[in-house]
Amino acid sequence: MKLSNRTKVMEQGEMTLAERMYLPAIVGGMATTLKHFFSKPVTIRYPEQKRYLGPIFRGQHILKKDEQGAERCTACGLCAVACPAEAISMVAAERKPGEEKLYREEKYAKVYEVNMLRCIFCGLCEEACPKEAIFLRHDTMVPVFNSRDEVIYGKDKLVEKMDQRYLRDGWK
């Protein structure tokens, strides 16, 4: 007695003529391959072509500036505390008079470094930041590196350039 009666009893007879001649099945298979022969390849030639990874992809870090071009980061260190991989380190400094155009608040990060070998791109720094200063941009990946010297990204690579501002879909 079976648990359910859904099991089909299969009895395998000999193959039918069409099956034994192989040829109909072969022609059918060849039609399938010919169809694929003329269909569009799905390949993306990676280094030259890149696919859009979505609006929330977590790529390379960026330190945002505000509308006036002043850095938003105040070197509070919350990102470094939140970072599970301990990839972020920074040195804080006090803003001098006359630097109001460069830094938004009285305190700023003189050195801000992300170790890309340690970073796991979890995005917790982005969540922790109270000043909306650090983001993982969705359109740029951290490129492959060949030497360990290239691994630690300083402010020269992280701070946003005013002529190529980073915008997300939701911000517009």
Partner 1 sequence: MDLLSDFFLAKAAFIGIVFAITLGIAAYSTYFERKIAAFMQDRIGPDRAGPFGILQPLADAVKMFMKEDFIPANSNKWLFIAGPCLSMLTALMTSAVVPFGDTVTLGGVTFDLQGIDVNIGILWVFGIVSLGVYGILIGGWASNNKYSLLGAIRAASQNISYELAMGLAIIAILLFTGSLSTKAIVEGQQNGHWNIFYQPLGFIIFLICAFAECNRTPFDLPECETELIGGYHTEYSSMKLGFYLFAEYINMFISGAVMATLYFGGYDYPGIDFVTAQFGNNIAVFVGMGALIGKALLFVFVFMWVRWTLPRFRYDQLMGLGWAGLIPLSMYNVVVTAFGILIGKPFTAGIVGVVLLILGLLIHDQLFVKKKIA
Summarize as ranges the residues that interact with partner 1 (CB under 8 A). Answer: 9-17, 21, 23, 26, 29-30, 32-34, 36-43, 45
Q: Return phi, psi of residue 90, to 5°.
A: -155, 160
- Of 43 and 164, nearer to partner 1 (C-beta) is 43
Other residues' Cβ atoms within 10 Å of the Cβ of residue 75: 22
For residue 39, the minimal CB distance to partner 1 (Å) is 6
- Of 49 and 164, nearer to partner 1 (C-beta) is 49
- Of 33 and 147, nearer to partner 1 (C-beta) is 33
For residue 5, the minimal CB distance to partner 1 (Å) is 16
The DSSP symbol for 171 reads G
The DSSP symbol for 165 reads -
142 with 117: CB under 8 angstroms? Answer: no
For residue 6, the minimal CB distance to partner 1 (Å) is 17
For residue 143, the minimal CB distance to partner 1 (Å) is 20
- Of 25 and 117, nearer to partner 1 (C-beta) is 25
- Of 46 and 171, nearer to partner 1 (C-beta) is 46
For residue 46, the minimal CB distance to partner 1 (Å) is 12
Q: Return phi, psi of residue 146, to 5°.
A: -110, -20
Other residues' Cβ atoms within 10 Å of the Cβ of residue 97: 5
160 with 65: CB under 8 angstroms? Answer: yes
- Ramachandran class of 52: left when φ > 0, alpha when ψ lies in -120 to 50, beta otherwise: beta
Which residue, among 108, 70, 105, has the nearest Cα to 90 in the 3D structure? 108
